[in-house]
């Protein structure tokens, strides 16, 4: 050969990048640019092919590598590696790709969005190149999945067709699952070999075969290979993939993609093959696939179906050869891979032409086409003869090698008779279906009822077939001069020094394999003559024997089973109901706490308990509080009003406790909060559905309902006991001497400028917490407001409350009274008091605010107090009266409050201090005298504004509910202003 190239890396790159670049460009073409896309694709394939041919001299003596660093930290790089084997596969991918592109230009309808088709096709080509040129196992697995993906997109190209959708889904399901297995397999392989680099792995054969992980690794790798190469029992997706346009079937599903599994087994043959496990798994899968595929192919009525099963069978043959584990088997496998690609691609394209010209692929309808399309017929007959293994064609040569391997019985097993017999049987089947294909399609009287009248296709559509058939013939006659050296390079690259002597001669003399071939040829012909009629009239379009083993049915069953199991699993191990979820949370927490405490159990009682003697007053207070809480829980289901009131009682108990324990600040705030929340809750109660006195439980459910209540009670008791216990333990423990609390007590006045530590904590030490908490308060107000904007009370609470109805009825009975007068009268005294309280409470709020930094009070308490002033007005005089006189605009309060607080925080940036750093100074003010003026007071104003705004927002949203009138009733009053405008 000629001398090697100086820069092989550029050629290597162009072999893989050209298809990807082409795919992107094709995707950008206008929707119906058929010629442009085809020309682009053709150029791309040719560029790749020429690069490959130019590189050939470089790879005859060993692999060419080009590394691109990708993820060196994981030991995974992007390595392009071309040796004899990958060169052969590359030429297959690029060469047949070029021919298929040419063919597809004529096959695809101009009405299809063809650029998309070519984009997928080129992307597939790139992915396939990535697989065969991968120098890194992980890289191989990545491109492997990409071939599955683009195969899916290509099968589903005509996605309006149900068969295309189903076929595509099934193909992706099977091959992608295989790809996931392959990933595990190659990770294990790399783990055993210590590297994911192919050259390192190929050099670690002994280590790999000795490893305890060999078998799991092998199984995972083979799952990948078998699913991809349609080996039994994963073969069923391939016939379904025939819903793809025929160029795709010719390219992906006969010549290239389905050979990826074969390629993988060849690539890893030196390190995986030769063991008992390999022989058992690969050999068995191969022979089963060979026989089942060949047998099923006989019965197909669909032209492409026949070819698909024939492909499965030939893939099985190659797998079997690899499974034998002998070097000669390997040679035969590689040779047959190339031969099969040439004759099967041409047959698929011929089938596509027949489909295109006649409008049908049904073998029962086709007949006598040799008259209408003599050239295509001749080409297809030659290709089919190669498929059958007729001498002087390439299929014959590799089949002879296969039969020779079957006879040689290298392992000396007692099944020595079985393998040759089965091999002959499979060859007989191949002859039978090839004969049926030829005879049924091209011979006999011309068919009359075809959807369209057949004639020869355009010349360039036929050209790819002509070329491939020419190769079949030339290789079949002078193999040594044509394919010989390339095959030798390929074999050498894998087997190295173990390369056996083999001869590619056409004539090896009279021997057993030749006899077997002749038996197969004769037997196949005889069987066809005998069984032609029953096969053609078989209504099932498939062998009856296989019904129970129909892969499609099993697949559907498995998928349905998976879905059903998932549904079951999701409902058994999960729940959509709220109560069990809450129970889960509590139970998990209790369990986790117990488990966590177990190792530390002994420490629980250490250092004893610091108990203080009980004060009778305090005990009584707490008994009252506990009583209120229990009644609240008891009544929550049937009597909400009582529950809310009792809850208020419990809250009051804690307020008094704060006072008792000298925390006036907490007590003030808690008291105000209790008041406001209780009032708002009471206002909201009006809109809840009516009380249900009893819930009817059917007798059959009563036991369960009772059991559930008991268990709920137990959960509640357990949780309460747990909380009480840990609270007790914390309170009776000696205080941590170095806790951070002391710091605040010591520094509040000196550096925070306030005597009220709680307030200084809130607005200074932990102002960020306060900023967050007021945001929460604002958000809650906004949520209530948003929710009530579209609130729809239940039908039963839509009508006016009973009290209102009675009063109105009474007003209407008396002629002198207006509706609403009774209410006015009843509310007279409270109203006057409440209206006059307004300025008092406002002043109180200001007072609370100003003293906050030193005494109990502060922005929060002041805000709550201020909102009480507003609440009283709404309660006393009604929404309309108040809003005619006072527009509170609570949303603006919220906005200003949050804004002021945040801006105060940012203000310290100007002085070069972090967010929310405070600064204070005392000032002499007229009247008020010396007052502290910390910057935190600004922050506190923000807090005040937000608290007022948010509370009043909730109040107004609730208040407006009573103004709303159902649409279908005429409003008694002028309609209330929409809530959105009031806030």
Partner 1 sequence: MTGWSAHLAVMPVALPMLAAAFLLLFNEDRRRLKAIVTIATVAALVVVSALLLQSVSAGSAVPAWVYVPGNWPTPFAITLVVDRLSAMMLVLSSILSLGTLLFSLARWAWAGPRFLAFFLLLVAGVNGALLTGDLFNLFVFFEVMLAASYGLLLHGSGEKRVRMGLAYVAVNLTASMLFLIGVSLVYGATGTLNMADLARRLSDLPPENQTLFAVASAVLGTAFLVKASMWPLGFWLPRTYAAASAPAAAVFAILSKVGVYVVLRLSLLLFGTDAGAFAGFGADWLFVGGILTVLFGTAGAMAARNLPYAAGCCVMISSGTVLAALGFGTDAALGGALFYMAGSILAGGALFLLAEILEREAPEAALAADARVFADEYEDPFGSTTVEENGPVIPAAIALASAGFLICGLLLAGIPPFAGFIGKLTIFLGALPREGSLSGAAWTLIAVLTLSSFGVLMTLLRFGVAYLWTPGDGTKLPVVRIVEFSGIATLLLACILLTLWSEKGLAYADGAVSWLRDPGAYVRAVMEHQPWHGDASPGNAPQGDTP
Residues 626-655 that bind partner 1 (CB under 8 A): none
DSSP run (H or E) holding 344: helix 327-358
Residues 602-631 that bind partner 1 (CB under 8 A): 602-607
Q: Is 903 in the site for partner 1 (CB under 8 A)?
A: yes
Residue pair 848/865 in contact by the 8 Å Cβ criterion:
yes
Compute the distance between CA of residue 704 and CA of residue 706 in angstroms, rounded to an integer.
5
Q: Which is nearer to partner 1, 196 or 396 (CB)?
A: 196
Instruction: Lay out the site mask for partner 1 across 175-204 (x = CB under 8 A, - = otherwise).
Output: -xx-xxx-xx--xx--x-------------
Q: How far apart are CA 679 and CA 827, in angstroms?
A: 17
**Which of 921, 924, 972, 973 is close enough to bind partner 1 by CB under 8 A?**
921
Rule CB under 8 A: choose which of 891, 943, 955, 956 binds partner 1: 891
Tokens of 794: 């239940």
User: In the complex, what is the shortest distance from the CB of residue 46 to partner 1, in angstroms, rounded to a whole number?
Assistant: 26
- Alpha-carbon gap, residue 707 to 698, rounded angstroms: 14
Q: Does 728 bind partner 1 (CB under 8 A)?
A: no
**With CB under 8 A as the contact rule, which of the stretches 166-174, 415-423, 439-447, 688-696 interacts with partner 1?**
166-174
Using only C-alpha atoms, the chain has a radius of gyration, in whole angstroms, of: 43
Closest CA to 655 of 624, 684, 682, 683: 624
Q: Interaction with partner 1 in 73-92: which residues (CB under 8 A)? A: 73-74, 76
Stretch that binds partner 1, among 38-46, 57-65, 628-636, 764-772 (CB under 8 A): 764-772
Residue 662 lies near partner 1 (rule: CB under 8 A): no
| Binds partner 1 (CB under 8 A): choice among 775, 804, 824, 962 | 775
Neighbours of 474 (CB within 10 A): 15
Choices 85-93, 772-780, 859-867, 868-876 (CB under 8 A): range interacting with partner 1: 772-780
Contact pick of 355, 357, 674, 764 for partner 1 (by CB under 8 A): 764
d(CA 263, CA 128): 11
Show contacts of 13-17: CB within 8 Å, 24+ apart.
13/66, 13/80, 14/47, 14/48, 14/51, 15/48, 15/51, 15/52, 15/55, 15/80, 15/82, 15/90, 15/94, 15/129, 15/133, 16/80, 16/126, 16/129, 16/130, 16/133, 17/126
Please tell me whether residue 718 binds partner 1 under the rule CB under 8 A: no
Q: Which DSSP state fits 282? A: I
Omega into 233 within 30° of 0, i.e. cis? Answer: yes
Long-range residue pairs from 524-530, CB within 8 A, at least 24 positions apart, any chain: 524/388, 524/427, 524/428, 524/429, 524/430, 524/431, 524/432, 524/434, 524/435, 525/431, 525/435, 527/428, 527/432, 528/431, 528/432, 528/435, 528/436, 528/439
- Return the residues of window 100-159 that contact partner 1 according to CB under 8 A: 138, 141-143, 145-146, 149, 156, 159
Closer by beta carbon to partner 1, 623 or else 733: 733
Site membership for partner 1, residue 212 (CB under 8 A) = yes
Identity of the residue, 142 or 379, whose beta carbon is nearer to partner 1 in the bound complex: 142
* Binding of residue 569 to partner 1 (CB under 8 A): yes
- Cβ distance to partner 1 smaller for residue 228 or 344: 228
DSSP E strand stretches across 83-121: none
- Among 67, 277, 362, 773, indicate the residue that binds partner 1 (CB under 8 A): 773
Nearer to partner 1, 416 or 783 (CB): 783
Q: Output the smallest distance, CB 636 to partner 1, in A.
A: 14
Q: Kindly tell me which of 192 and 303 has the beta carbon lying closer to partner 1.
A: 192
Q: 3-state SS string over 553-609?
A: HHHHHHHHHHHHHHHHHHHHCCCCCHHHHHHHHHHHHHHHHHHHHHHHHHHCCCCCC
Which lies closer to partner 1 via its Cβ, residue 596 or residue 927?
A: 596
**562 lies in the site for partner 1, by CB under 8 A:** yes
- Binding segment for partner 1 (CB under 8 A), chosen from 311-319, 341-349, 430-438, 771-779, is 771-779
Cβ-based nearer residue to partner 1, 721 or 733? 733
How many residues can be counted in the chain? 983
Q: Candidates 918, 940, 944, 955: give the one binding partner 1 (CB under 8 A).
A: 918
Q: Could you tell me which residues are beta bridge partners of residue 923?
A: 931
Among 544, 792, 813, 885, binds partner 1 (CB under 8 A): 792
Position 210 contacts partner 1 (CB under 8 A):
no
Largest CA distance in the chain: 131
Which of 539, 699, 914, 929 binds partner 1 (CB under 8 A)? It is: 914
Question: Contacting partner 1 (CB under 8 A), which of 29, 384, 758, 767?
Answer: 767
Q: Which is nearer to partner 1, 413 or 919 (CB)?
A: 919
Task: Name the token pair of 239.
Answer: 């016939």
Q: In degrees to the nearest 10, what's the CA dihedral of 43, 48, 54, 59?
A: -170
Q: Which of residues 410-469 bind partner 1 (CB under 8 A)?
A: none
Whole-angstrom Cα distance, residue 422 to residue 533?
A: 25
Least Å distance between CB 738 and partner 1?
6
Choose the binding region for partner 1 from 6-14, 38-46, 53-61, 785-793 (rule: CB under 8 A).
785-793
Give yes or no for residue 565 binding partner 1 (CB under 8 A).
yes
Tokens of 659: 């006072």
Give the residue carrying structure tokens 């009248």: 453
Task: Report the residue from 707, 779, 806, 832 that binds partner 1 according to the rule CB under 8 A.
Answer: 779
Q: Which of 552, 597, 626, 688 is in the footprint of partner 1 by CB under 8 A? A: 597
> How far apart are alpha carbons 314 and 318 in whole angstroms?
6
Which residues, numbered 474-503, are part of the site for partner 1 (CB under 8 A)? none
Instruction: Give the residue with the Cβ less far from partner 1, 76 or 100.
Output: 76
Site for partner 1 in 234-263 (CB under 8 A): none
Which one of residues 68, 733, 809, 833 is an interface residue with partner 1 (CB under 8 A)? 733
What residues pair up with 719 in beta bridges, in sequence order?
Answer: none
Q: Give the tokens for residue 622.
A: 């707490």
When binding is defined by CB under 8 A, the residue of 163, 280, 421, 582 that contacts partner 1 is: 582
Cβ atoms of 370 and 379 closer than 8 Å: no
Judged by CB, which is closer to partner 1: 143, or 278? 143
> Contact between 600 and partner 1 (CB under 8 A)?
yes
Instruction: Determine the interface stretch with partner 1 among 173-181, 245-253, 335-343, 526-534 (rule: CB under 8 A).
Output: 173-181
Least spacing, CB of residue 145 vs partner 1, in Å: 5
Q: Measured from the CB of residue 585, what is the shortest distance to partner 1 in angstroms? A: 5
Nearer to partner 1, 222 or 393 (CB): 222
- Binders of partner 1 among 937-976, rule CB under 8 A? 964-967, 971, 975-976
DSSP for 153-200, written as a single string:
HHHGGGTTSHHHHHHHHHHHHHHHHHHHHHHHHHHHHHHHHT--BHHH
Q: Measured from the CB atom, is 223 or 230 closer to partner 1?
A: 223
Q: How far apart are the first and last CA of the chain?
A: 89
- CA 621 from chain center: how many Å? 57
Smallest distance from partner 1 to CB 898, Å: 4
- 829: contact with partner 1 by CB under 8 A: no
Contact call for residue 724 and partner 1 (CB under 8 A): no
Strand, coil or helix: what is 335?
helix
Q: How far is the CB of 858 from partner 1 (least distance, A)?
A: 17
């Amino acid at each position: 050969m000629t001398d090697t190239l100086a820069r092989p890396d550029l050629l290597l790159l162009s072999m893989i990048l050209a298809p990807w670049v082409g795919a992107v460009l094709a995707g950008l073409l206008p929707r119906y640019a058929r010629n442009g896309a085809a020309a682009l694709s053709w150029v791309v394939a040719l560029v790749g092919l020429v690069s490959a041919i130019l590189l050939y001299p470089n790879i005859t003596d060993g692999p060419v590598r080009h590394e691109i660093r990708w993820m060196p930290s994981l030991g995974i790089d992007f390595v392009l590696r071309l040796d004899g084997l990958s060169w052969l596969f590359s030429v297959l991918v690029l060469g047949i790709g070029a021919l298929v592109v040419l063919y597809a230009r004529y096959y695809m309808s101009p009405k299809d969005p063809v650029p998309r088709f070519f984009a997928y096709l080129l992307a597939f080509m790139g992915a396939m190149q990535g697989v065969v040129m991968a120098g890194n196992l992980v890289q191989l697995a990545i491109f492997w999945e990409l071939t599955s993906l683009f195969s899916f997109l290509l099968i589903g190209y005509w996605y309006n067709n149900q068969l295309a959708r189903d076929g595509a889904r099934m193909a992706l399901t099977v091959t992608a699952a295989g790809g996931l297995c392959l990933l595990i397999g190659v990770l294990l392989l790399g783990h055993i070999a210590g590297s994911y680099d192919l050259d390192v792995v190929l050099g670690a054969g002994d280590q790999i075969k000795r490893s305890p992980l060999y078998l799991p690794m092998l199984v995972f790798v083979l799952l990948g290979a078998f699913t991809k190469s349609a080996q039994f029992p994963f073969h069923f997706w391939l016939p379904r993939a025939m819903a793809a346009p025929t160029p795709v079937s010719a390219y992906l599903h006969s010549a290239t993609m389905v050979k990826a599994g074969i390629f993988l087994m060849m690539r890893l043959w030196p390190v995986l093959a030769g063991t008992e496990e390999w022989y058992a798994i690969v050999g068995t899968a191969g022979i089963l696939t060979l026989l089942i595929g060949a047998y099923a192919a006989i019965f197909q009525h669909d032209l492409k179906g026949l070819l698909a099963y024939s492909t499965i069978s030939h893939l099985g043959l190659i797998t079997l050869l690899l499974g034998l584990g002998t070097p000669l088997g390997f040679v035969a496998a590689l040779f047959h891979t190339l031969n099969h690609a040439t004759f099967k691609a041409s047959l698929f394209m011929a089938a596509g032409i027949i489909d295109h010209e006649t409008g049908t692929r049904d073998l029962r309808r086709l007949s006598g086409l040799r008259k209408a399309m003599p050239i295509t017929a001749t080409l297809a007959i030659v290709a089919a003869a190669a498929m059958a293994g007729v001498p002087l064609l390439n299929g014959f040569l590799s089949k002879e090698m296969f039969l020779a391997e079957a006879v040689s019985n290298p392992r000396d097993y007692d099944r020595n008779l079985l393998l040759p017999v089965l091999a002959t049987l499979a060859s007989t089947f191949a002859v039978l279906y090839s004969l049926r294909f030829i005879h049924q399609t091209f011979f006999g009287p011309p068919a009359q009822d075809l959807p369209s009248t057949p004639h020869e296709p355009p010349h360039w559509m036929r050209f790819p077939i002509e070329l491939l058939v020419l190769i079949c013939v030339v290789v079949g006659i002078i193999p040594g001069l044509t394919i010989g050296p390339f095959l030798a390079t390929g074999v050498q690259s894998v087997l190295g020094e173990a390369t056996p002597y083999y001869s590619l001669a056409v004539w090896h003399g009279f021997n057993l394999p030749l006899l077997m071939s002749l038996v197969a040829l004769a037997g196949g012909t005889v069987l066809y003559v005998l069984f032609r009629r029953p096969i053609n009239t078989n209504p099932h379009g498939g062998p009856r024997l296989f019904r129970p083993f129909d892969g499609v049915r099993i697949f559907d069953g498995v998928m349905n089973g998976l879905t059903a199991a998932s549904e079951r699993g999701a409902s058994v191990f999960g729940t959509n109901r709220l109560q069990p979820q809450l129970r889960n949370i509590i139970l998990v927490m209790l369990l986790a706490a117990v488990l966590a405490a177990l190792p530390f159990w002994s420490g629980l009682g250490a250092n004893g308990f610091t108990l203080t003697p009980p004060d009778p007053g305090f005990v009584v207070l707490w008994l009252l509080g506990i009583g209120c809480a229990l009644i609240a829980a008891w009544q929550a289901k049937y009597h909400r009003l009582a529950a809310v009131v009792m809850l208020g009682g419990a809250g009051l108990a804690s307020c008094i406790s704060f006072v008792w324990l000298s925390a006036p600040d907490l007590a003030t705030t808690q008291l105000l909060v209790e008041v406001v929340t209780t009032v708002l809750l009471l206002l909201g109660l009006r809109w809840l559905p009516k009380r249900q006195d009893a819930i009817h439980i059917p007798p059959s459910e009563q036991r369960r309902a009772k059991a559930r209540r008991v268990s709920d009670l137990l959960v509640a008791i357990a949780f309460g006991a747990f909380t009480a216990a840990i609270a007790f333990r914390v309170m009776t423990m000696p205080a941590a001497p170095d806790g951070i609390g002391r710091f605040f007590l010591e520094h509040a006045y000196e550096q925070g400028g306030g005597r009220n530590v709680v307030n200084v904590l809130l607005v200074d030490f932990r102002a960020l917490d306060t900023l967050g908490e007021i945001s929460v308060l604002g958000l809650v107000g906004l949520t209530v407001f948003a929710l009530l904007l579209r609130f729809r009370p239940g039908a039963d609470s839509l009508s006016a409350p009973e009290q209102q109805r009675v009063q109105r009825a009474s007003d209407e009975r008396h002629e002198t009274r207006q509706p609403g007068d009774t209410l006015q009268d009843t509310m007279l005294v409270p109203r006057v008091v409440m209206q006059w309280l307004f300025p008092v409470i406002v002043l109180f709020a200001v007072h609370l605010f100003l003293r906050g930094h030193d005494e109990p009070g502060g922005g929060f308490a002041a805000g709550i107090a201020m909102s009480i002033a507003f609440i009283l007005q709404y309660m006393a005089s009604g929404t309309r009266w108040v809003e005619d006189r006072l527009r509170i605009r609570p949303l603006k309060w919220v906005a200003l409050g949050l804004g002021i607080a945040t801006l105060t925080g940012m203000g310290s940036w100007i002085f070069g201090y972090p967010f929310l750093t405070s600064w204070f100074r005392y000032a002499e003010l007229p009247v008020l005298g010396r007052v502290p003026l910390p910057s935190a007071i600004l922050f506190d104003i923000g807090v005040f504004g937000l608290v007022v705004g948010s509370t009043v927002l909730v109040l107004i949203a609730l208040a407006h509910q009573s103004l709303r009138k159902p649409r279908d009733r005429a409003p008694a009053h002028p309609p209330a202003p929409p809530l959105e405008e009031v806030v």
